Amino acid sequence: MGQAIAKLGWLRHSYVISTKLFWGIHDDVNMANTLNRKYLLQAIDGSLDGVPADSRANLGGYDWLKGALTDPKRNAKVRALKRVADDLGCTLAQLSIAWCARNPRVSTVITGASRVEQVRENLKVLDVLPLLTDEVMARIEAALH
């Protein structure tokens, strides 16, 4: 991203860069599930470099997901959340985005898309938001715990 911005010649004050950093890249202490200052600064620097050395893109596959995808407890939570999404007539992804938007502790929801269809699908969240009553939010919280 840094190389592209430099090539375009954009002035620093003319753009804002957003990135997701919390989950981390390694399972080491202070490198996963953290927002400590040192990790944030490293991640921000990496996101601005032309080639971030610790980027997930350099992992050569999705081996880093194997543990999460095969964990029975996590899969049970996903199935419970899927039932909530089905009851609301939305996708699990739309439910997730709507939950973030409805959550009072979340100030901004950053979504990603590689195709226009994904942007359109994400925008359908606006129809899901009014469906997230206190009762539905309680069902979501119960599914997560």
HEC string of 25-83 equals CCCCCCCECCCCHHHHHHHHHHHHCCCCCCCHHHHCCCHHHHHHHHCHHHHHHHHHHHH
Domain spans, the chain: 2-63, 71-144
Q: Is the pLDDT of residue 74 over 60?
A: yes
Query: Model confidence at 124, in pLDDT bands (50, 70, 90)?
Result: very high
Query: Model confidence at 81, in pLDDT bands (50, 70, 90)?
Result: very high
The closest alpha carbon to 56, from 8, 79, 100, 22, belongs to: 22
Total-model pTM:
0.57
